[in-house]
Chain A
Amino acid sequence: MAFEEINSKMVRATVAPGQRLFSQRGAMLAYQGEVSFTPNLRGGQGGVMSMIGRRVANEDTPLMTVEGSGTVLFGHGGHHVQVINLSGDTLYVEADRLLAFEGTLEQSTVFLGSQGGVMGMVRGQVSGQGLFTTSLKGHGSVAVMAHGGVFEVPITPHRPVRVDPQAYVAHHGDVRNKLSTALGWRDMVGRGSGEAFQLELSGSGTVFVQASEEKL
């Protein structure tokens, strides 16, 4: 495993020759050994087309490539950090929540609007979460950031999970998502409970939720 949680807000990564890491630019706190940090103009992997895709999708968080031999400490903005290990499955996470990930993972941008029809389109507008999300696939580990601690909620076929769109951090597994609304006409005239929109996740997998409704 490339990442080790030092405390709730810091991770230590081990870099070895021939292995690459990607991290959010400026997230390095300290390092030991011979390590080089190069700005990654293409914002990660995937070539020029992927870069354009990310620009258009507004999922273009500047990344840097970390190579060499040694250990690096990562942390950013005092946010909580959570390490998620992937073994062949796909993690969906907003690009600005990505702290660092192993180069063995394949990065791409997915359009989530198609999953929920019109409501999927509305989702981005309402929740402030993009219609596009970064996906990471393969074997390796990822460090994601959250405001407050993160907890995991399992999603099973008979037990879908609804999440406040602002508290949603990431999810993995074979999961469909759609924005559901609990809005009735009473809410329209100002009697809302403040829980009008919920992100509904069904299938089987895990969703990561933060203890806050604040965006990063």
Chain B
Amino acid sequence: MFRLQGSKVLAVDMTQDAVKAKNGSMVAYDGEMAFKKLSGGGEGIRGMVTRRITGEQMTVMEVRGQGTCWFADRASEITLVGLQGDKLYVESSNFLAADAGLRTGTSFTGTRGASQGNGLFTTTIEGHGQAAIMSDGPAVVLRVSAQYPLTVDPGAYVAHQGNLRQSFQSGVTFRTLFGEGGGEAFQIRFEGDGLVYVQPSERNTIAGDV
């Protein structure tokens, strides 16, 4: 069972069940817990091959036991996400924890990664259960519907879920290249039906300098 203790600490109450969490994110626990390293990119040989190819550097551990385990990472804000059979896409650096019953994998994000310096691949979490994602400052959840597409700064994008198509937009023009850019040269556009998590901060991206 996931619960937030304040906005920056995730408490997970466990009764011999398990949770997947970012390596090294445990800050305290009581009871008995065992920590085992897993690897990102999904299970099995396919996952292993994917990891090698994609270089998606998510190192995950499995925590199993009885008691309460507290997770936090660099005082980042934490948001809980409930999954009912749908898929959550999250940058591996924004992933904190998920029920062990959820499947984790890697998916191709297209050209977005290149502008972000975050790699071309992103982490996916799928199934029924809870996940915890991190953001720099409290994340807002924006709903995207057929009538209301959403455009997001790549540096402020944290995660999305639902049935969404994403496309990469470039506002780079002749003028931008001559130093008259608006500072918003690259954007990601989401269309369809789903939720997008946005943080009030911009990671340093190549796009930010254009």
Nearest to B39 among chain A residues (CB) is A191
- Does A26 reach chain B (CB closer than 8 Å)? no
Say yes or no: B24 contacts A148, CB within 8 Å. Answer: no
Residue A70 lies at the interface, judged by CB distance under 8 Å to chain B: no
Residues 173-216 of A, flagged 1 when their CB comes within 8 A of B and 0 if not, give: 00000000010000000011111000000000001011111100
A193 contacts across to B, CB distance below 8 A: 23-24, 35-37, 61-62
Say how far A188's CB is from chain B's closest CB, in angstroms.
Answer: 12
Chain B residues with a Cβ closer than 8 Å to the other chain, count: 28
B28 at the A interface (CB under 8 A): yes
Residue of A nearest to B24 (CB): A194
| 6 tightest Cβ-Cβ pairs between the two chains A and B | A148-B75, A194-B24, A193-B61, A211-B8, A167-B27, A211-B72
Given A163-B27, A194-B61, 8 more pairs with CB closer than 8 A: A147-B75, A161-B29, A162-B28, A167-B72, A195-B24, A210-B72, A212-B8, A212-B75
Instruction: Let me know if B75 and A211 touch, CB within 8 A.
Output: yes
**Complex Cα spacing A148 to B71, Å:** 13
**Chain A residues in 8 Å Cβ range of B34:** 182
> Hey, what's the 0/1 contact readout for B1-43 against A, CB within 8 Å counting as 1?
0000111110000000000000111111111011111000000
Which B43-83 residues sit within 8 Å CB-CB of chain A?
Answer: 59, 61-62, 67, 70, 72-75
Distance of A211 Cα from B74 Cα, bound (Å): 7
Give A116-133 interface residues, CB cut-off 8 Å to B: none
Whether the Cβ atoms of B61 and A161 lie closer than 8 Å is: no
Contact B30 A211 (CB under 8 A): no
A149 touches B31 (CB 8 A): no
**163-199 of chain B: CB within 8 A of chain A:** none
Chain A count of residues within 8 A CB distance of the other chain: 26
Q: Is A151 an interface residue (CB 8 A)?
A: yes
Query: A151-B5, A194-B61 given as contacts; is B35 within 8 A of A209 (CB)?
Result: no
* Residues of B contacting A162 in the complex (Cβ-Cβ under 8 angstroms): 28-30, 33
Residues in A neighbouring B8, C-beta threshold 8 A: 148-149, 211-212
Chain B residues with CB under 8 A of A148: 8, 72, 74-75
Bound: A167/B8 CA distance, A: 13
Q: With the chains together, A124 CA to B109 CA distance in Å?
A: 44
Q: How far, in angstroms, from A121 to B6 measured CA to CA in the complex?
A: 34
Per-residue interface assignment for chain A, residues 141 to 152, with 1 indicating a CB less than 8 Å from any chain B CB and 0 otherwise: 000000111010
Q: Does A153 contact B (CB under 8 A)?
A: yes
In the complex, what residues of B have CB within 8 A of residue A191's CB?
37
A164–B9 Cα distance when bound, in Å, is: 14
